[in-house]
Amino acid sequence: MSKGAYWLSKFLESLLSAAPIAAVIIVFYLLQTFAFSDQFSDIYIISLPEFLTFLVAVISIIIGMGLFNVGTEQSMTEIGRIIGSSLMKKKNLFFVLTMTFLLGVLVTVAEPDLSVLSSQIGVNRIVIILSIGLGVGLFLVIGVARTFSKKNLNMLFLAFYGLTFMLIYLINPRFLPVCFDAGGVTTGPVTVPFLLGFGLGLAATHGGKNSEDAFGLTALCSVGPIIAVVIISWIMGLTGTELPETYVMPSTSGDVLTKVGHSLLESSRSVAISVGPILGFFLIYEFIFVRVPWKTVVRIVLGMLVTYVGLVLFLSAVDYGFMPIASKVGQGFGSDPKFLPVAIVMGLLFGVFGVLAEPAVHVLVQQIEDVTEGAIKKHTVLYILAGSIGVAVVMAIIRSYFEFDVMYYLIPGYIIAFALSFFVRPIYTAMAFDSGGVASGPMTSTFVLPFCIGFAYSQGKDVYLYGFGLVALVAMMPLIVLQALGLVGGIKQSMALARARKRIVEENDDQVIHFAIESEVKPDGK
Tens-digit pLDDT string for the chain (526 aa): 677 777 787 788 778 777 887 888 888 888 877 766 566 555 557 778 888 888 888 899 889 888 887 887 788 778 877 887 787 777 777 888 888 888 888 888 777 777 777 766 767 778 888 888 898 889 888 888 877 777 777 788 888 888 988 888 888 888 888 888 888 777 766 777 777 677 766 666 655 544 555 566 777 888 888 898 899 888 887 766 555 555 555 555 567 778 788 888 888 888 888 788 888 888 888 888 878 888 888 989 998 999 899 888 988 888 888 888 888 888 888 877 888 898 899 899 888 887 776 666 776 677 677 766 676 777 888 888 888 899 999 999 999 999 888 889 999 999 999 899 888 887 778 778 777 776 776 677 777 888 888 898 888 888 888 888 888 898 889 889 888 888 887 787 788 788 887 776 555 555 555 555 554 445 554 5
Q: Is residue 503 part of a domain?
A: no
Rounded to whole angstroms, the Cα distance separating 476 from 410 reads 7
Q: Among 479, 493, 478, which Cα is nearest to 372's?
A: 493
Rounded to whole angstroms, the Cα distance separating 446 from 466 reads 17
- Specify burial of residue 157 (Cβ count, 10 A radius: 0-12, 13-18, 19+): buried
Q: Is residue 515 part of a domain?
A: no
Q: Is residue 524 part of a domain?
A: no
Q: Is residue 500 part of a domain?
A: no
Cα end-to-end distance, the chain, whole Å: 65
Q: What is the 3-state secondary structure (H, E, C) of 153-195?
A: HHHHHHHHHHHHHHHHHHCCHHHHHHHHHHHHHCCCCCHHHHH
Rounded to whole angstroms, the Cα distance separating 213 from 355 reads 25
Q: Is residue 518 part of a domain?
A: no
Q: Is residue 161 part of a domain?
A: yes
Greatest extent of the chain over all pairs of C-alpha atoms, in Å: 105
Q: Among 308, 312, 311, which Cα is nearest to 264's?
A: 312
pTM above 0.85, yes or no: no
Extended strands (E) in 346-430: none
Rounded to whole angstroms, the Cα distance separating 109 from 133 reads 6
Q: Is residue 519 part of a domain?
A: no
Q: Would you say 249 and 47 are in contact if contact means Cβ atoms under 8 Å apart?
A: yes
Q: Is residue 282 part of a domain?
A: yes
Tally the domains of the chain.
1
Q: What is the CA radius of gyration of the chain?
A: 25
Segments forming the whole domain that contains residue 485: 3-495
